[in-house]
Structure 1
Amino acid sequence: MPELPEVHALVTDLRSHLLGRVVDRLEIVAFAALKTFDPPVSALSGRTVGDVARRGKFLDLTLEREDERDLHLILHLARAGWIRWRDSAPQRSGRPGRNPLAARLVLDDGTGHDGTALAKGSGFDVTEAGTRKSLAIHIVHSPLDIPGIARLGPDPLDQGFTLDQFQRILEAGGRKQIKGLLRDQSVIGGIGNAYSDEILHAAKMSPFKPAAMSPDDAARLFDAMQATLRGAIERADGLAASELKHEKKSGLHVHGRTGEPCPVCGDTVRQVIYTDSTFQYCPTCQTGGRPLADRVLSRLLK
């Protein structure tokens, strides 16, 4: 799932391609992905891309037309969605349900970020792999019209997000497990399963630790969150969308690395399995050498 660092990098890449370009059309292939119907898809045609921004894990394209209210094309890539830039459009978009293509944004004539001429039809594809489809496409007048954005918590990399504010969030979390709190978009926006694993590993903290913790622990977690997210953004800086998935995977220390040695201490990375997700951790670094209880696996072994 694209999280804060990847969406940040996608924004940077798309800005270099899209700013000032005129939309020819948006083609919807996976109709279930389109979550809004007013304004209609056709309302995007002829509008100019004025900005590309990140809101939590949402991508927000501002589309402008003189003397008219701005529209926002907003994408949530969910678990398996992605953006693929292309310099020209294929003749057909494919049939619904037969390929991973969910939507295609086609641009009018223009020039690329390096000044080269681009043929009509350049733009990007929105794809979603797998059979579980949860990608979401919205066309709205205001980002706040989308409930997931309206209830977003503070951005952890915002300059105004301080340790004091973070400590208040943790205290309000009470006995809630810190892993779940970090992933709660209404509490802190942009962190998902992968980077919550990485942040907790960097902080040497158990995923099951209660959110309400000592000031020293809170400061350690805050520093780990800042360093982990900023480090991921720095590694992805300047990369094209096609390179970001590999960069994310190569930069992870524990997430997705079950059975591999921890790069810090050499212990074996373990995982806990839930019904719809898993997370990874290092026992030596995070739990005093004790494996965490895995209820799903325990039931399977009975």
Structure 2
Amino acid sequence: MPELPEVQALAAYLRERAVGRRVQRVEVCAINALKTYDPPPSALAGRTVTDAGRHGKFLDVEFGDGNEVHGVDGGGDDGEVHGEPVRLVVHLARAGWLHYRERFPSAAPLKPGKGPIALRVRLDDGSGFDLTEAGTQKKLAAYLVTDPGAVPGVARLGPDALTADLATFSERLRGRRGQVKGVLTDQEVLAGIGNAYSDEILHTARLSPFALTHRLSDEQLGVLHAATGQVLSDAVRRSVGQRAAELKGEKRSGLRVHARTGLPCPVCGDQVREVSFADSSLQYCPICQTGGKPLADRRLSRLVR
């Protein structure tokens, strides 16, 4: 799943490559991925890409006003372009991604429901980008809004994990009782951290993923806050400037415990272990994080803290 560093890098890449280009047309291939209908996709045609940013793990692409009207395939009626900027806000979910194309192989409109492409934005220089989603569980969500706060997931976001100060960070974690792994990935508590970077943060902080937030000392919260800033900042530095196609590989290369089950911990050399759940898993180092004791690999076990 793309997390804060990858989404920030995608936004930076779009600012570098797409800002200033005018939208030629939009093709909606997966109707279920588009969660709004007003403004319609046709509102983007003729507009210029003016900015790109993020809200937690949501990508936000801004399109300024334009003067021309073009057709749109796959959603909405043609209409004039007027008024305030329109935002394409996207949550890529677990298997979604943004692919930037310097040139599309064909000018022919895509057929709805065919292949992994959910939405295509064609720009006036022949380039553009596809929003794609692999697998059978289609959870990618795209919203066309004039205010990002109108997107329910954005409206519920807590403070940004990359910029929250220690006081805010500590207040948010102590205000939500639970296992620290789950609380860190709760977007209403802190925005931007997912499964992979929470594993990395907890390893850096030398904390068990099942430590309870209300039992964390001020010192532990300070270490955890510093680890969060370090891990996310390092990942952003590695990611920003990379082409969209290279970001997944860059993320994998920087991970120390996540998705490295059975490999040696780069800090102590012990074997990285895993706890599996119904639809996810976590990785940790027993020596670094749990006093050398492996965690039971079942959801309702008595947990090591």
Query: Would the TM-score normalized by the shorter structure come out above 0.5?
Result: yes
Aligned length: 284
Q: Which residue matches 1:255?
A: 258
Give 1:93 shift: 5.1
> Whole-Å Cα distance in 1 between the matches of residues 31 and 11 of structure 2?
24
- Unmatched runs of 5 consecutive residues or more in structure 1: 110-120
> Aligned match of 1:206 in 197, 205, 208?
208
Q: Which residue matches 1:43?
A: 43
Amino acid in the other structure paired with 1:280: Q
Give the secondary-structure state (helix, strand or coil) at the position aligned to 2:61: strand
Offset from partner CA, 1:100-128 (integer Å, 9 cap, x none): 1111100114xxxxxxxxxxx31011111
Contact 1:53 1:61 in 2 (8 A): yes
Amino acid in the other structure paired with 1:233: V
Give 1:282 shift: 0.7
> Aligned match of 2:222 in 219, 244, 251?
219
Counterparts of residues 83-122 of structure 1 (less than 5 Å): 83-91=98-106, 92=108, 94-109=110-125, 121-122=126-127
> Whole-Å Cα distance in 1 between the matches of residues 132 and 124 of structure 2?
21
Give the secondary-structure state (helix, strand or coil) at the position aligned to 2:38: coil
Give 1:296 shift: 5.9
Give 1:237 shift: 2.6
Counterparts of residues 1-302 of structure 1 (less than 5 Å): 1-65=1-65, 68-91=83-106, 92=108, 94-109=110-125, 121-158=126-163, 161-174=164-177, 176-212=178-214, 213-295=216-298
Give the secondary-structure state (helix, strand or coil) at the position aligned to 2:175: helix
Offset from partner CA, 1:4-50 (integer Å, 9 cap, x none): 00001111111111111111111111111111111111111011111
Offset from partner CA, 1:280-302 (integer Å, 9 cap, x none): 1111110011111222699xxxx
Offset from partner CA, 1:148-179 (integer Å, 9 cap, x none): 00010001222xx21111111122123x0000
Give 1:220 shift: 0.4
Q: Percentage identity across aligned positions? A: 55
- CA 263–155 in structure 1, closer or farther in 2 if over 3 Å, else same: same
> Whole-Å Cα distance in 1 between the matches of residues 285 and 109 of structure 2?
45
Give 1:98 shift: 3.5
Q: Which residue matches 2:74?
A: none
> Whole-Å Cα distance in 1 between the matches of residues 173 and 100 of structure 2?
39
Contact 1:29 1:93 in 2 (8 A): no
Contact 2:173 2:189 in 1 (8 A): no
Amino acid in the other structure paired with 1:266: G
Q: Which residue matches 2:70?
A: none
Contact 2:29 2:114 in 1 (8 A): no
Structure 1: 4+ residue segments shifted above 6 A: none
Give the secondary-structure state (helix, strand or coil) at the position aligned to 1:173: coil
Amino acid in the other structure paired with 2:134: A
- CA 105–187 in structure 1, closer or farther in 2 if over 3 Å, else same: same
> Whole-Å Cα distance in 2 between the matches of residues 281 and 95 of structure 1?
44
User: What RMSD, in angstroms, separates the aligned Cα atoms of the two structures?
Assistant: 1.5
Give the secondary-structure state (helix, strand or coil) at the position aligned to 2:138: coil
Contact 2:205 2:227 in 1 (8 A): yes
Amino acid in the other structure paired with 2:97: W
**Scaled by the length of structure 1, what TM-score is found?**
0.91
Amino acid in the other structure paired with 1:137: A
> Whole-Å Cα distance in 2 between the matches of residues 194 and 10 of structure 1?
18
> Whole-Å Cα distance in 2 between the matches of residues 30 and 274 of structure 1?
30
